[in-house]
Structure 1
Amino acid sequence: MFLDKIEPNENTIKLLLTTDNHVGYAENDPIRGNDSWITFDEILKIGNNYDVDMIIQGGDLFHINKPSKKSLFHVIKSLRQQCMGDKPCEIELLSDPTAVFSNGLDSVNYEDPNLNISIPMFAISGNHDDATGEGLLSALDVLAVSGLVNNFGKVKDNEEITVSPVLLKKGNTQLALYGMANVRDERLHRMFRDGKVKFQRPSTDDWFNLFVIHQNHAQHAYRSCIPETFLPHFLDFVLWGHEHECIPSPIHNKETTFEVLQAGSSVATALSEGEVADKKVFIMYIEGQDYSIEPVQLTTVRPFVLKEIELSQTKLVAGSSSKADVIALLIEEVEKSILQANEKYLKNHPNESEIPLPLIRLKVEYTGFEIENAQRFSNRFIGKTANVNDVVLFYKKKTPKEQVKKTKFDADLIEESISNTKTTELQLQDIISDFLHQTTLSLVPEIGLNEAVKKFVDNDDKNTIQTFINNETKTSVNKLKKIEIDDNEFYGNDDEKTQKTAFKQLLAELKGDPSLMEINIEEPIKEKPAPKRKSKKSKEILSDDSDVEILEVNDNDVDILTDEDEYKSKKKATRGRGRGRGRGRGKK
């Protein structure tokens, strides 16, 4: 139950909640290069000052899945300085560490006799710092095996997910900490819908169940987000990562039994509306089944002001006002925004003598007016703003005449897409889709290839495409081995049309796509039944058709049960969200 305030005592678990730190973002920028790790260090200092028992990080600790040596250096330095010390950690681990942590070690880091951890950090992987390459290792795995972080919630099987809790106890308070690393939203949505995501839970109801997830929260499209109603109803609290807009208090969805906290990012990675809100971390107090939340504003975040301007709504007149008039008006607006940002910073930092250069963004709708190059305009504010190349973003409104169908590579459309955030932009997946339509790919799925190319570009992962193709090839070969083929259909029949039809039938069986078949064959190709898989995680299966599993723990023999009725997904969409739930970033 959410309370206004809980007075800490020997039974109170104190947590610091943070997500989307994006350490390493713009690290080569001469002005903003140090922002991400300065703020990350401040977050750990806040945990130290509040004397928290543990820190929970909700994904995207790093901005890319192969962070630079400089990013690793600063993160390791902050963890050593702020999270190591002589203060004893009073939380007892009840779970089997080899079953809930991904580093393969037989203990949580604060129980390792070779380490001196005072504030343990528990973290999951996001979409930016996910595991890739051979062995599916991430930067968090490196930090975990070095003893600085406890990496939990790793998804090892994308076909069926079982979420096991990290069981923790302090005094009379028992915490079941669940985590799930980022999975492609469409895939995870389908798995929840089909009942292939299972949660193990304690057999008693005196546990506080906290879930950490890193997925799309805002409902941009029904299948590209995870509705809150999909999550199991026995949960008490959800920390939601991935969305960058900070919502300063938990929100209760009437269709569920738990509250959701969208903590937001600690550094602005896009000059968008969702990044404007003040950046915060949260101190959570848990005692029994009750909890309270205290937001703490971050002081090292660079001030950011965003304005939207329609030139037709100003004193300027379309067709009559010159380019010089437009530029003069916009320069005046930028100067006002700089003063506003400085005043906002001084209000929150009254004792500060030096004000950091602010982030300024004007989104200008210029239909009917003459403008100049956006970068040339932005360069006027060198020494006054931190983003010297993109202070202004020009775009035009769509008109009925402009809605004529164009090819994806039309020059006018490309130019409009670059400067227009309110029209259809040329997306990377559009380019890939156009390319695939000119080729013939029978086995490689288009969606997966789009995702692999996106990771190649966004995360600088040079092996992602090759890994994807290798995995798809291996999967296709395994499926082919299970399919029984009548040799007479291919070799005993000289009819070329029959042979082609049989081959299309084979591809349909392989890809599960009936649209590949032209006509039906009298005896369809049969697939060998897949062997029944045995669960390796559970210590004891009560019956073949039972979803009850028991997870062995150290000394207290706590039962972990799976109750399918409580988490089986609903097929209706969750209620829509307004702008307050919008994604505070460009594209994460």
Structure 2
Amino acid sequence: MSTQEDETWDDDENTIKFLVASDVHLGYAEKDAKRGHDSLVAFEEVLQIAKKEQVDFLLLGGDLFHENKPSRKVLHGCMCLLRQYCMGDRPCQLEFLSDQSVNFGHSRFPFVNYEDPNLNVSLPVFSIHGNHDDPAGSGNLCALDILSAAGLVNHFGQHPSLDHVEMTPMLLQKGRTKLALYGLGSIRDERLHRMFVRKSVTMLRPRENQDEWVNILTFHQNRVKHGEKNYIPEQFLDSFLDLVVWGHEHDARGLERNDVQDFIVLQPGSTVATSLAEGETLPKKAFLVRVKPSRKMKFEAIPLQTVRQFYLKDIVLADTTLDPNDPEAAEKIAAFCQEKVEELLCRAEEEHTGNKRQPKEPLIRLKIEYSGGFPMFNTNRFGQMFTDRVANAREIIHFYRKKVYEKKGGGGGKEEKWEDEDLTTMIPREALDMARVEDLVKRFFAEAEQNGRMSLLTEKGMGEAVKEFVDKEEKDSIQELVKWQVEKMQKHLRDRKAGEEKIEEEIHQFRQAYQQHAEEEDEDIQLAFERSRSKRPADDDRSDIMDDDDDDLSDEDHPAPTRGRGRGRGRGRGRGATTTSRGRGATTTSRGRGSRGGRGGRGKKSVVTGGSIVDALQNSSSSRSSQRSAAKPSYMEMSDSEEEDSDRGFSMSSKSKGNSKPRGGASQRKGRGIAYDSEDSEDDPFTMPSAKKSRR
């Protein structure tokens, strides 16, 4: 290749350009009069950026929807936006080289949407599911499957197996640039953590010319450590990866290099604030990524201009001049807080982007530590002063008190005690901002006095039951979990023929042994939930296979049950017939729109060999290190522009280059196959445009 091609980033023939966004959370606070449209407005801006930049595809890192079963209003608004910005006559230049019946095997239409002759797709959207919009119900479907069936989104990365995950990449090529895109939809962190430790996660690679492929993984798991197994360490991921797009975490940390595994982690963050936590105050962004034939990548952070502003301020009353013993202390504290809110409102006005679609009313949060005898004031009355100026007027003020320590009697040690008795003050505020309901339950019982702890039920089981009740509205989950564990204990006591005097001892011993067998407890929890789900109405399918963490209550419209329609329209697999009818027999090229008659690699049988992922807890062997040194690109430079939010470029040059000749048409590809190796406007966005606007 020529030097000019290496230096020109806007080379349309050989440069793959895609936009990355994550955690869109469509439908968040949809019933809020002020914030109800925020998520759709931000998503529309992402689509507008993608269209303006003329990217080859849009990559979403999960949680496109905020709820497992979004309302019709939200689903309709999403589909309208996708149809408006993703359909058109602009040809798609990406060749799809891998077996699409494998990449989209869970779909009734197992092929990429831009090669469907019945559709006119100008902007392909690839998305994995997150923990909010994960597959559920007897058909194991999610909202993304509806968009996929409509031809609007390519849903990939679904792995329903509970004990093994095998990731087969989507192999994309444009000119001489080759991209291997892996995807893993959200799986419960503890379960996935156990899979990695057992080497039950397999990532397949093209066997030929491995050093020519840029390997990208789209991931949606906990990156921040919430417990020993409630997150996925970066060291678990294989070192042949070049880029990991990490969804689920809402703070936009941008690009970070992992020197141990030698890959880059891109954490785009969310496009809308779904909590009043400190991480949500960071500017919301989308990231433009360019990939060149020489395996160089360039990243550009694009701040979103329509996102509602959010400001958070910590106040410690003990550090102020206010006197807790003043008879008018509450009024003076309220006046002090009012002054701080006014300052933040002035700041919001100064930092407003000027975009007419960016809301004028910001989100504001004051976290006030009132330890030391300071009184509280009426927060509702305080919020009424800012009803027309702040979006979250009722939630501006958050009072909390810190913990104090007292000496144990005679022991000389320290014992934690809390000034407040409720759960919100027993948990540190930093942890509470990012907490999950099951973690709160576990922490609550861990911090409780001895006589306040459970002796029969397990904290993990109760946490999962509460989470199922909150996230999936399974009203019988707690009852069935309690019933299941009580029955199990009763059976144990009967089998042991324990006398009355030994019952407490047997219960204690059984509970300890039970908690040490995590797999058995997980299985029992799932069986209890299945029993709970079997009790709900037939057309209320919301069971969960890949449940994960978050604590947002579902708020959807339920259809009237009078129509008597079952789930008979569920997606049938029918994979053999579909694959056969869309085989690779056509001789036309699969590049661009004119090639839709030939499906590229969809009908060709690929030779695949399986194996375990490299031991994530140990360093690579010397043989693997030497092999990787020849094929793995080295990151030569990391350039920052003047502003912190500006572009970042990573230049990757491979020491040994494989065959870089441009691929020919289908006549050259015919019969080759791919073999793999296993590596250890201010209008309401929910409404339809008027007839006058649509007739142009």
TM > 0.5: yes
Partner SS for 1:195: coil
Cα distance in 2 for residues equivalent to 1:465 and 1:104: 35
What's the offset of the Cα at 1:264?
0.2
Distance 1:385 1:188, change over 3 A: same
Tell me, in whole angstroms, the C-alpha distance in 2 between the residues paired with 1:463 and 1:86: 51
1:140 aligns with 2:144: yes
CA contact (8 A) 1:66 1:461 kept: no
Q: CA 1:13–1:556 in structure 2 vs 1: closer, same or farther (change >3 Å)? A: farther
Residue 275 of structure 1, CA deviation: 0.6
The alignment status of 1:242 with 2:248, answered yes or no, reads yes
Contact 1:65 1:461 in 2 (8 A): no
Q: CA 1:165/1:398 → structure 2, altered by over 3 Å: closer, same or farther?
A: same
Do the aligned residues in 2 keep the contact of 1:201 with 1:560 (CA within 8 Å)? no
Residue by residue over 1:28-79, the C-alpha shift from the partner in whole angstroms, topping out at 9 and shown as x without a partner, is 0011010001111111111011101111100000001100111101110000
**Aligned equivalents of 1:513, 1:216: Cα separation in 2:** 23
CA-atom RMSD in angstroms = 3.9
Q: Aligned pair 1:167/2:175, yes or no?
A: no
User: Identity rate of aligned residues, in percent?
Assistant: 39
The answer to whether the Cα contact below 8 Å between 2:308 and 2:358 also exists between their aligned partners in 1 is no
Q: How does 1:425-504 map to 2 (within 5 A)?
A: 428-429=437-438, 447=460, 450-460=463-473, 496=497
Contact (CA 8 Å) 1:159, 1:196: kept in 2 or not?
yes
State which of 396, 403, 418 in structure 2 corresponds to 1:398.
Answer: 403
Q: Secondary structure at the match of 1:73?
A: helix
Give the alignment of 1:577-588 within 5 angstroms: none
Q: Indicate if the aligned counterparts of 1:133 and 1:464 stay in contact, CA closer than 8 A.
A: no
Deviations 1:294-315 (A, max 9, x none): 1111111011111111112122
The CA deviation at 1:94 is: 1.4
Does residue 93 of the first structure (1) align with residue 96 of the second (2)?
Answer: yes
- CA displacement, residues 62-99 of structure 1 (integer Å, 9 cap, x when unaligned): 00110011110111000000001111111111122221
1:21-32 to structure 2, matched below 5 A, reads: 21-32=24-35
Higher relative contact order (CA 8 A, sep 6+): 2
Q: State the match for 1:110 in structure 2.
A: 114
Comparing 369-378 and 423-432, the one that deviates more: 423-432
1:362 equivalenced with 2:409 (yes/no): no
| Candidates 228, 234, 238, aligned match of 1:228 | 234
Q: Which amino acid aligns with 1:192?
A: F
Matched, 1:177 2:181: yes
Quick one: distance in 2 between partners of 1:424 and 1:459?
A: 21
Could you say if the C-alpha distance between residues 216 and 96 of structure 1 is closer, same or farther in structure 2, counting changes exceeding 3 Å? same
Structure 2 counterpart of 1:413: 421
Distance in 2, matches of 1:89 and 1:466, equals: 53
Q: Determine the C-alpha separation between the residues in 2 that align with 1:467 and 1:113.
A: 49
Unaligned stretches of 5+ residues in structure 2: 1-5, 408-413, 446-450, 489-493, 519-574, 577-599, 620-643, 645-696
Do the aligned residues in 2 keep the contact of 1:194 with 1:569 (CA within 8 Å)? no
Determine if contact 2:402/2:425 at 8 Å carries over to the other structure: no
For residue 217 of structure 1, the aligned residue among 223, 228, 231 is: 223
> Using the alignment, how far apart are the partners of 2:305 and 2:432 within structure 1?
37
For the 8 Å contact 2:401–2:425, the answer to whether it is kept is no
Match of 1:373 in 2: 378
CA distance in 1, matches of 2:301, 2:40: 20
Q: Which residue of 2 aligns with 1:316?
A: 322
Mapped pair 1:254 → 2:259: yes
In structure 2, the residue matched to 1:126 is: 130
Q: Which residue of 2 aligns with 1:584?
A: none
Distance 2:316 2:452 in 1: 39
Cα shift readout 1:381-429 (whole Å, capped 9, x = no counterpart): 11010001110111112111498678xxx99511763997269899844
Change (3 A) 1:554 1:218: same
- Pick from 325, 330, 341 the counterpart of residue 337 of structure 2: 330
Query: For 1:200, what is the secondary structure of its paired residue?
Result: strand
Amino acid aligned to 1:45: Q
2:87 to 84, 87, 96: 84
CA distance in 1, matches of 2:459, 2:21: 35
Could you say what secondary structure the match of 1:220 adopts? coil
Match of 1:49 in 2: 52
| Aligned position for 1:518 | none
Q: Is the 8 A contact 1:394 1:420 kept in 2?
A: no
Cα distance, 1:375 vs structure 2 = 2.6
Output the TM-score relative to the length of structure 2: 0.65
Match of 2:649 in 1: none
Q: Select 2:23's aligned residue among 20, 23, 29.
A: 20
CA distance in structure 2 between the aligned counterparts of 1:423 and 1:172, rounded to whole angstroms: 47
- Give the SS at the match of 1:17: strand
Contact 2:441-2:462 at 8 Å conserved across structures: no
> Structure 1's 354 and 148: CA in aligned 2 closer, same or farther, altered over 3 A?
closer
Question: CA 1:128 to 1:455, structure 2 compared with 1: closer, same or farther past 3 Å?
Answer: farther
Aligned ranges 1:55-74 → 2 under 5 Å: 55-74=58-77
Cα deviation per residue 1:126-163 (whole Å; 9 max; x = unaligned)? 01111111121111111111111111000210111111
